[in-house]
Structure 1
Amino acid sequence: MNAIPRLLIHGASGRMGLALLRLAAARDDLNVVAAVSRKSPAQRVVDGVPQFAASELSGVPEFDVAIDFSLPEGFDPVLALCAQRGSALVSGTTGLSSEQNRAIEAASQRIAVVWAANYSLGVAVLAELVRRAAAALPAWDCDIVEAHHTRKLDAPSGTALHLGQAVAIGSGRDPHYASLRAGDIVGEHTVQFASAGERLELIHRATNRDIFARGALEAALKVVRQAPGRYGLAELMFPNL
């Protein structure tokens, strides 16, 4: 691997892909060698970054790690390419099938892979704190309240469900969920534990969507130096948590 990891951004024309390109350009610890989008690019090079269509994926230059925020139908080719070339993969593509998850497990025998529904580093820490609180307070009621902008269709959010899994792992019980859709809220998640006479609340508020792209870039820097395997975001970023 080069001293400065070579990065491929897959799903480059999406909201996350554009944020990744913008933020990576301001860093000197990553070198973006290719940007891949579903459609054929209008320009072959934009701001010094070679542009490729998804149909041209096999022809991209060598890279050390790929960040993928695409669609389920675009996930298989980038996973296969990473496995073929021995490159690490960071993916935030949601809606993957059980078969695709099995493919991740198979690929993780050859390459380092991290997949997460949310790349906020704060949420990664929150999930571990929630698991610990649930384990310490297994008899307490637990509710997860999430709030997002009015355009978000799924409810509860994927992050709320992820936090709910942490509750279930810690206490063996499932929480109750409540969802709010209002204005332009980027994302807020409150995990409340309640018993007679007291409540404990753990809260994360996102005020800028760039946090997700920053988290993915940090994950790419970490995972590119790892041995083959499948890594969770908290495990990767905060091994001593």
Structure 2
Amino acid sequence: MSEMPGLVVTGVSGRMGRMLAQVVQDSGKARLVAGLVREGHDWVGRDLGEAMGGPAWGVKATDDPVEAFARAQGVLDFTRPAATVDYAGLAAQARAVHVIGTTGLEPADLEKIAAAARHAVVVRAGNMSLGVNLLVKMVEKVAAALDEDWDIEVIEAHHRMKVDAPSGTALMLGAAAAKGRGVDFETAKVSGRDGITGARDRGTIGFSAIRGGDIVGEHDVLFAGAGERVVLRHVATDRAIFARGALRAALWGQGKKPGQYDMMDVLGL
């Protein structure tokens, strides 16, 4: 048991944090050593299992990331950009594998994460599921095969509580389409259409975001040509797929050289 890597889950009181903690606890492949919550949270010092309404796990919630990371070989982090940037530096100091599923990261955030990755392993992906990462490769190949007479639109749907749009997964898919076409993604990207927008510019990659209810995650990549359409689709029905992917990434990262990796590396794609 002691040979299994110890993992910390950040934001453990949230919906994704609870799922991550449960998956690690049930895995038999890693040890949950702590759950991190914000300073002053009412879970601080409580047993995580009991805080989640079940039997005791013998693992406590804490608001001290330095102490928690010092006991861990990996950090599973699906929080907010500001917190993730702070955790990246602390995880690097602890030489712990930092698995980042946080979305909405800005270029300045990514620069700080890249700096941390010079000292430790960082695995970052907009989506941790096997199916989505296979879809990313498919989108790249289809985009490479179809010229700019085919319009590309990424349509994504998530639950009403999601705070960023387009989703990190949608951006992954758009970037894959741009790579396949050999164009600059930031130049080709179009999102947030409103009002009299005029005709669509040739070669652009559009985004449409739907927010409602408890939708876990749905992504369609539409290739629309004259007289025909190709649609590539992934539907997530259980948030546990992301947690299982994150655990797999944390295990994969043990013993790897410092640097930034993604789920393509983890899955050997």
Between the aligned partners of 1:160 and 1:24, the Cα distance in structure 2 is: 27
Q: How does 1:14-163 map to 2 (within 5 A)?
A: 14-40=14-40, 41-46=43-48, 47-53=57-63, 56-60=64-68, 61-139=70-148, 140-152=150-162, 154-163=164-173
Distance apart, 1:89 and its partner CA: 0.6
2:186 corresponds in structure 1 to none
1:9 corresponds in structure 2 to 9
Between the aligned partners of 2:74 and 2:36, the Cα distance in structure 1 is: 13
Between the aligned partners of 1:78 and 1:151, the Cα distance in structure 2 is: 23
| Alpha-carbon contact 1:138-1:170 (below 8 Å) kept | no
Deviates more, 1:73-82 or 1:123-132: 73-82
Between the aligned partners of 2:35 and 2:243, the Cα distance in structure 1 is: 15
| TM-score for both structures, normalised by structure 2 | 0.79
Deviates more, 1:146-155 or 1:190-199: 146-155
Distance apart, 1:95 and its partner CA: 3.0
**Structure 2: segments with no counterpart, 5+ residues:** 49-56, 184-202
Task: Read off the aligned partner of 2:85 and give its amino acid letter.
Answer: D
Between the aligned partners of 1:120 and 1:167, the Cα distance in structure 2 is: 19
User: Secondary structure of the residue that 2:220 maps to in structure 1?
Assistant: strand
Q: How does 1:201-216 map to 2 (within 5 A)?
A: 201-216=231-246
Task: Read off the aligned partner of 2:108 and give its amino acid letter.
Answer: E
Distance apart, 1:102 and its partner CA: 1.1
Between the aligned partners of 2:36 and 2:249, the Cα distance in structure 1 is: 19
Distance apart, 1:52 and its partner CA: 1.0
| TM-score for both structures, normalised by structure 1 | 0.88
| Alpha-carbon contact 1:142-1:193 (below 8 Å) kept | yes
User: Secondary structure of the residue that 2:166 maps to in structure 1?
Assistant: coil
Between the aligned partners of 1:77 and 1:67, the Cα distance in structure 2 is: 14
Distance apart, 1:179 and its partner CA: 3.1
**Structure 1: segments with no counterpart, 5+ residues:** none
Deviates more, 1:93-102 or 1:162-171: 93-102
Distance apart, 1:209 and its partner CA: 1.6
Aligned length: 236
Between the aligned partners of 1:215 and 1:4, the Cα distance in structure 2 is: 17
2:224 corresponds in structure 1 to 194
- Give percent identity, aligned residues only: 42
| Alpha-carbon contact 1:167-1:174 (below 8 Å) kept | no
Distance apart, 1:26 and its partner CA: 0.9
Output the aligned Cα RMSD.
2.1
2:54 corresponds in structure 1 to none
Between the aligned partners of 2:230 and 2:255, the Cα distance in structure 1 is: 38
Between the aligned partners of 2:155 and 2:146, the Cα distance in structure 1 is: 18
| Alpha-carbon contact 2:75-2:98 (below 8 Å) kept | yes
Between the aligned partners of 2:238 and 2:85, the Cα distance in structure 1 is: 30
Cα distance change on mapping 1:67 and 1:152 into 2, 3 Å: closer
1:180 is the counterpart of 2:210: yes
Distance apart, 1:42 and its partner CA: 4.3
User: Secondary structure of the residue that 1:126 maps to in structure 2?
Assistant: helix
Cα distance change on mapping 1:96 and 1:150 into 2, 3 Å: closer
Task: Read off the aligned partner of 1:59 and give its amino acid letter.
Answer: E
2:190 corresponds in structure 1 to none
User: Secondary structure of the residue that 1:49 maps to in structure 2?
Assistant: coil
Deviates more, 1:171-180 or 1:76-85: 171-180
Between the aligned partners of 2:9 and 2:211, the Cα distance in structure 1 is: 31
